[in-house]
Amino acid sequence: MPVLEGKGLTKYFGGLVAVSNVDLHVDEGEIVGLIGPNGAGKTTLFNLISGALPLRSGTILFKGQKISGLKPYEICRRGVARTFQSIKVFPDMSALQNVLLGSYFGVSPGMSSMEALREAKEILEFMGLSASSATRARDLTLASQKRLEVARALATKPQLLLIDEMMAGLNPTEVAQAIELVSSIRKNGITIIMIEHVMKAIMNVCERIIVLHHGQKIAEGTPQEIVSSETVIKVYLGERARAAS
């Protein structure tokens, strides 16, 4: 049964098409990659799913229930969490406070302060951030800030996690760690959709890849299918990729 189902998703900005009639489905426990050149509509698609932007047309179902039209916080409380392409941690709050907010207001709001605190600490531990729990978020390294964003999203106890470019700007060692992290999150039973430019990461972790171009879905399939797809090579990867493959 699909966790997430989108039908005919469409969004315009002014007169420009950002996302055009995209269908997608994600099954429980999957890791789906979303790739495409800049401006292809990947982040817009995330914004539509998480409720940051209203749909022009189409519907989004989460676990069979319609979530399109809901406010971001309502969608979050139903179990869809996300991270952001440009980091959006709360810079002047400590790492712990960042995560605590998720525990307080996520899927199960109203838990006691003590319980929320315990949970937040657990998540920081899991993300390997315990040591910097009292550090202000703005003082963390880029990699840690990205982790913190994921930690905050996890604290809301999502069933579906949308990760937007977690690897960009990380060095290869950090990328490797991040890939590991994504896999372990999945092991905890959380479904993941990730936007990524780092091809290596996508190819390694994703079971299925969706390629967007000019707001349209131009391809969908396993990593192997994608790298060998004529269309994808023509509009996205270019000649070099062809030569290399």
Partner 1 sequence: MDIARVISKRSSALWAPFLILILLASLPLCAPQYTIILLTTIFMYIVITVSWTMFSGPTGYISLAPAAFFGVGVYTSALLGLVLPLPAIIGIGGLASFCLALFVGALTLRLRGTYFVMFTFGLVELLLHFVLWWEVNITGTTGRVVPTVNNTKVFYFMLIIFVILMFALYTIRGSRFGLALEAIGQNEDAAAHTGVNVTMVKVITFAISAFFMGAAGALMATRWTYIDPKIAFNPLLSFMPVLMAIFGGMGQLYGPIIGAAIFAYLEEFLITRFPYYYMLIFGTIMVIAIVYMPEGLVGLIRRLLKSSTEGRHART
Partner 2 sequence: MLQVSDIDTYYGNIQALWGVSLRIDEAEIVALVGANGAGKTTLLNTVSGLLHPASGRIEFCGKRIDGMAAYAIVQLGMSHIPEGRRLFPDMSTRENLQLGAYPRRLWKHKEKTLEEVYKIFPILKEKESQLARTLSGGEQQMVAIGRGLMSMPRLCIIDEPSSGLAPVVVDEIFQIILRLRNEDIGIFLVEQNVQQTLEIADRAYVLENGRITLGGESKELLQQEVIRKAYLGL
Nearer to partner 1, 87 or 227 (CB): 87
Q: Give the residue carrying structure tokens 């040591």.
A: 131
- The single residue among 44, 50, 68, 159 that binds partner 1, judged by CB under 8 A, is 50
Contact 62, 79 (CB under 8 A): yes
Q: Which residues contact 157 (CB under 8 A, 6 or more apart)?
A: 79, 106, 107, 108
Stretch that binds partner 1, among 19-27, 30-38, 77-85, 237-245 (CB under 8 A): 77-85
In whole angstroms, how far apart are CA 13 and each of 10, 54, 102, 156, 212?
A: 10, 11, 31, 30, 17
- How far apart CA 109 and CA 181 sit, in angstroms, is 26
- How far apart CA 233 and CA 228 sit, in angstroms, is 7
Q: Which two tokens stand for residue 152?
A: 């905050």
- Phi then psi dihedrals of residue 220, to 5 deg: -155, 135
Residue 77 binds which entry of partner 2, partner 1, none, with Cβ cut-offs from 5 to 8 Å by kind?
partner 1
Residue 239 binds which entry of partner 2, partner 1, none, with Cβ cut-offs from 5 to 8 Å by kind?
partner 2
User: Any contact of residue 12 with partner 1 (CB under 8 A)?
Assistant: no
Residue 72 binds which entry of partner 1, partner 2, none, with Cβ cut-offs from 5 to 8 Å by kind?
partner 1
Smallest separation, CB 121 to partner 2 (Å):
27
User: Any contact of residue 72 with partner 1 (CB under 8 A)?
Assistant: yes
Q: Report the interface residues with partner 2, using CB under 8 A.
A: 37-39, 141-142, 169-173, 175, 200, 235-241
Smallest separation, CB 91 to partner 1 (Å):
6
User: Any contact of residue 100 with partner 1 (CB under 8 A)?
Assistant: yes
User: Any contact of residue 89 with partner 1 (CB under 8 A)?
Assistant: yes
Please provide the DSSP assignment of 226-242 as one string.
Answer: HHT-HHHIIIII-HHHH
User: Any contact of residue 113 with partner 1 (CB under 8 A)?
Assistant: yes
In whole angstroms, how far apart are CA 72 and each of 48, 53, 100, 172, 242?
A: 10, 9, 18, 33, 41
Please provide the DSSP assignment of 51-66 as one string.
Answer: TSS--SEEEEEETTEE
Smallest separation, CB 146 to partner 2 (Å):
10
Nearer to partner 1, 17 or 117 (CB): 117
Nearer to partner 1, 88 or 234 (CB): 88
Q: Across the strands, what pairs with 34?
A: 195, 210
CB atoms within 10 A of CB 33: 24
User: Any contact of residue 152 with partner 1 (CB under 8 A)?
Assistant: yes
Nearer to partner 1, 74 or 225 (CB): 74
Interface residue list for partner 1 (CB under 8 A): 50, 52, 71-73, 76-77, 81-82, 84, 88-93, 96-97, 100-102, 104-107, 109, 113-114, 116-117, 152-153, 155-156
